[in-house]
Chains A and B, each alone.
Chain A
Amino acid sequence: MKIKFKENNMISVVPIAVFIIIWQILGYAAQTPLFPTPVKVVFEFFNLLKNGVLISSLLASLWRVVVGLVLGSIAGIITGILMGSNKIFEKSLQPILSILYPIPTLGWLPLLILWIGINNKLPITLIFICAFFPVTYNTLTGIKEVKEEYIKSAKVLGASSKYTLKEVIIPMALPNIFSGLRQESGMVWRTVIAAEMFAVPSGIGSLLINAESLIRVDVIMVCLGVLSIMCLSFHRGFLWLENKMIGEWR
């Protein structure tokens, strides 16, 4: 068992090691700031860490992502539940959502700049929009996918519609809700970076665009590495939460 685990680890570590070695050789041979070596990138990472620029940028982006994602997800779950449990609500909201959902999140940017202005609320609102629609639809789908027989069983056992919704339908819709949240965990980071690049003068996106204007490829690579880690951490975080909440019975 242990040997197998070691073998699996080797399989994933070896390609990364080979990639870094080739990168180091090519970077060393190129001798240009446009293609820094991994050693230079790591050095710059510690440098940005030491002068506080990386931490303050990351915290600014993280704060926007968390607030936007939490608010968008809560609103999406509530809307999805209302639509899934009330036909009038569903029929009234469905056409509006069908029109708004296909709009790419960044398409809202010019309108939101005019309406909200350039401040912290702008990326938060964009992330809210980014999370709201998919979470709404996934919640709605999850509720609709609960088989009629489970609802009938609850009724026969004496449960009111409200009790059935709370104790049977919503818990059984959780796998779909989590799938929506996981999907969006990467999207929200892409959205915040785009918003910070074009409209907000702080955060990782802003650091990226400044590095581009100063031709600091090493800083760009540090930012991309941090973004990759953040997307992966969010994805893994939701996966962990999902396993914790529904892994036992699914």
Chain B
Amino acid sequence: MSIIKLKNIYTPYCLKNINIEIESGELIVILGSSGAGKSTLLNVISGLNEYSGNVYYNNKNMDKVPTEERNIGYLMQDVHLFPHMKVFDNVAFGLKVRKYSRNIIREKVEKMLYLLKIINIKNRYPKDLSGGEKQRVGLARALIAEPKILLLDEPLSSLDPRNSTEIRDELFKLHKHLNLTTIFVTHNFSQAKALADRIIIISDGKLIHYGSAVDIFDKPNKKIESFIKVSNL
């Protein structure tokens, strides 16, 4: 059964007639050049962007459901940790909103911090964190309310190669361990190849490919070949 279904999605100035169905537990990578509409697509799924068409989670129409009630994990491109909160409070934010008791918050947050190997920095402010640590904290914050869907907008783009590979592997493990449905935006082919169950390619707001990684890397058709050439991916 599809966990996310997008039907005839249009957004002002960007997406044009996007139709996608994503199965539960899949890891989908969205590829496309800058300005193609990759982030807009994530914003449509999360309800942050205006759109026409329909978005379904588990066959339930979400068009009228506001972002704050959709319970999705979303790690935005620049993470945007709240600068006035320590790591612990940043991660606890989603639980405090849901009015969990103090003890449960402490227990869940510490468990998540251990899982992401950042328990040692729980009392630091975001300004004192490295790029990799910020990504891990952002990921912990996105996952703390146990969402079933995780949206990642170029989470590795600002990291050095070593950190990037490390966090990529970590993400893959988390995706399996927490049984998430993950949508991962990137413009990096090697990341896509390493992670994806299926790949979406968007160009100028249009869906030009939705299929397995093999279709793209091993037997690309002319459309994909020309996209790769033009996008310089």
Contact = CB atoms under 8 A, between A and B. Distances in A.
Answer yes or no: are A and B bound together in one complex: yes
A162 to B, nearest CB: 11
Q: How large is the interface on A (under 10, 10 to 19, 20 to 34, 35 or more residues)?
A: 20 to 34
B71 A158 contact: yes
Interface stretch (A93-101, A148-156, A203-211, A218-226): A148-156
A159 interface: yes
A123 B72 CA distance: 55
Q: How large is the interface on B (under 10, 10 to 19, 20 to 34, 35 or more residues)?
A: 20 to 34
A153 B84 contact: no
The 9 closest A-B pairs by CB, nearest first: A157-B94, A156-B74, A158-B97, A249-B125, A155-B67, A171-B84, A149-B80, A249-B84, A159-B97
A91 interface: no
A163 interface: yes
Secondary structure dominating the interface of A: helix
Given A249-B125, A249-B127, A158 B98 contact: yes
A165 interface: no
6 contacts: A152-B67, A153-B74, A154-B82, A156-B72, A172-B82, A250-B127
Contacts of B182: none
Interface centre among B46, B73, B97 (most CB of A within 10 A): B97
Interface string B90-107: 000110111000000000
Contacts of A155: 48, 66-68
B78 A158 contact: no
B156 interface: no
A246 interface: yes
A157 B48 contact: no
Contacts of A149: 76, 78, 80
B83 interface: yes
